[in-house]
Chains A and B, each alone.
Chain A
Amino acid sequence: MAKNSKRASTVDTAVLAPLDWVDERTAAVRGTKWFLFRNVPRDVNWMQTLGSAALTAFIVQALTGGILAMYYEPSSSINPQTGKPVAYSSIEAITTDLTWGWLVRGMHRWGASVFIILLFLHMGRVFLFGAYKYPRELTWITGVLILVTGMLMGFTGYLLPWDQTAYWASAVGINLNGTAPFLGPWLAQFLAGGPEIGSETLAKFYAMHMLLIPGALIALIFVHIYLVTRLGVSSPPWSGEAAGRERPAAKPEAGRSGLVRGSGGD
């Protein structure tokens, strides 16, 4: 602690006492410190922030997607006012009529590509650094599953604008699944809800895009980040420091005084 002035102790009581109260009952503060205040190798670099960047992109997708869902209607029936399908009309309304709708839709539409690109860059970094090796194999495997579910998000989301591009690209995508051996044709018919794309396909893809796949994706992200936190960040391959070396003891006066009592240095 810095100065033991009266003011400092008042702050202590006002801010820290409630936190202590919560922490005693939930371990939330200890958990947050365990998650955030980790030792990392001295020579980490910017490339090791690609995972956090991908996480940020996902959070942007989740928020903008949640907002878009307030205005989007997944129906292929014709809107009598516009003479176009309800889904396409609602997309048009989001883009042209609603305040900043173009921005939120644009963020979601381009953010989808950003998310996938960041996943690939992150994967490339992990591969080139050899960071998938013992003990981080399961982190890699959950990461691969995140990539696959992320691509499923892209596949199911692409149909939702319900324009010609969406329709035919999804037809090709569904038939591509249909060429898988043995169960492929069954998978294709399941995805389309029948021999051809129909009105059920849109509702089905919407449900998958909004509920099922995001649920799986969020669960996978939690497991992935838990493993990263538990196992720590790996050194770059050119690191001169021996792996598993003990960290030198922090100097008390130089250490940051952390978020909460007793979290600075040690």
Chain B
Amino acid sequence: MSDSGNHTRHQPGSSLWPIGFAVGVACLLLGLVINWIITPIGLVLAVVFGVLWARDVSRDVRGEVPEIEPETRAVADEATESPAPVAAPEEPLPTYSRSRFLEASTVGLGAAIGALVTIPVLGFTILPSFKDVAEPDIDLGPIDNFPEGTYVIASYLSNPKVGEVSRRTAFVRNNGMTAKGPSFTILYSRCVHLGCPIQPNGPIDEQARKDVNGVELRPVLAQSFGCPCHGGLYDSEGNRRAGPPVRSLDRYTYSIKDGRLILVSLYSVANVSGTGADAQISSYSWASPGVHVDGVEAWLYPIVPSQVTGVP
């Protein structure tokens, strides 16, 4: 048969270990962000798969034969007819020369040293942007400062130590008392197109300006918000009415403590139906402006940083 003389060694397929290695490194980095317990698991995965990968890659250099059985097709009657296979002439044992060893150890040690240096540097480059980025809760003062049914522009420093660069603006509307306590609509001032500062479309009552512990409060008569950069327009509930934004305005969660309004954290909103205290809000983890949170386009953003870091 033509098959009989064709017992050539098959080439090993491309190694799959790099995938495991990548998963391990990702696990390690994620662990550093979320929870220290995950870190050693990632480390172990990375080391194990890294070693397996290195073994795979260096197979040629080490001269090791891949452990793949030659494909045989033993036909019963043929096997009985043919005489016992002649013992193959003894091949010289594969040698492993000094230069091969030095080459492999230089490359291997170089890779190990490179990894030792690179991983901390990489972590230092990337992780600080995702760790300890939480901003403190902000006390906006007594809720009596927020007249029912109108928006108040609240401007505050989220981190006074850092200064003006941490200035944030929220549009706060008191929706009045409900069965569950006072209700507020609190919109974040960043346009969800590309993050410009939206402006309330209405006159600001500068006479009624108040300053509460460094928080500036200015009532404004506005039923819509506009963005000066690219013409995004939102209604009084933050729903997009015109222009390029991809979702409704981000909102703050809040709490009432001793009759004072406290801003807690941001979340993203796909759409709001209804108004004020009765509004039905489809809320999502906070995503940066321009990111879709619902619909088919949201498939492009399966995991956003706030889902991992829990902030903001």
- A interface with B by C-beta (< 8 Å): 76-78, 85, 168, 171-172, 174-176, 178-179, 181-182, 184-186, 188-190, 192-200
Q: Are A189 and B195 in contact (CB under 8 A)?
A: no
A186 to B287 CA separation, bound complex (whole angstroms): 10
Q: Are B196 and A171 in contact (CB under 8 A)?
A: yes
Closest A residue by C-beta to B168: A196
Q: Which residues of B contact A193 (CB under 8 A)?
A: 128-129
- B interface with A by C-beta (< 8 Å): 126, 128-130, 133, 159, 162-166, 168, 194-197, 229, 266, 286-291, 300-302, 304-306, 311-312
**In-complex Cβ contact of A178 among B168, B266, B290, B312 (8 A):** B290
A interface: dominant SS: helix
Closest 4 CB pairs of A and B: A181-B300, A179-B290, A178-B288, A175-B195
Residue among B128, B197, B304, B305 having the largest count of chain A Cβ atoms under 10 Å? B305
CB B28 to nearest CB in A, in angstroms, measures 16
Q: Which residues of B contact A194 (CB under 8 A)?
A: 129, 133
Closest A residue by C-beta to B197: A168
Closest A residue by C-beta to B304: A185
Q: Which residues of A contact B306 (CB under 8 A)?
A: 195
**In-complex Cβ contact of B288 among A77, A195, A199 (8 A):** A195
A193 to B300 CA separation, bound complex (whole angstroms): 22
Q: Are A185 and B288 in contact (CB under 8 A)?
A: yes
From known contacts A175-B194, A186-B305, infer whether A77 and B163 are also in contact, taking CB-CB under 8 Å.
yes
**In-complex Cβ contact of A168 among B229, B286, B291 (8 A):** B229
Sampled A-B contacts (21; CB under 8 Å): A76-B165, A77-B163, A171-B194, A172-B229, A175-B194, A176-B194, A178-B288, A181-B301, A182-B300, A182-B301, A185-B287, A185-B301, A185-B304, A190-B129, A193-B128, A195-B133, A195-B286, A195-B306, A198-B166, A199-B165, A200-B129
CB A139 to nearest CB in B, in angstroms, measures 30
Q: Which residues of B contact A190 (CB under 8 A)?
A: 126, 129-130
Q: Which residues of B contact A188 (CB under 8 A)?
A: 288
Closest B residue by C-beta to A164: B197
Q: Are B291 and A178 in contact (CB under 8 A)?
A: yes
From known contacts A172-B194, A175-B194, infer whether A198 and B129 are also in contact, taking CB-CB under 8 Å.
no
Q: Are B162 and A198 in contact (CB under 8 A)?
A: yes
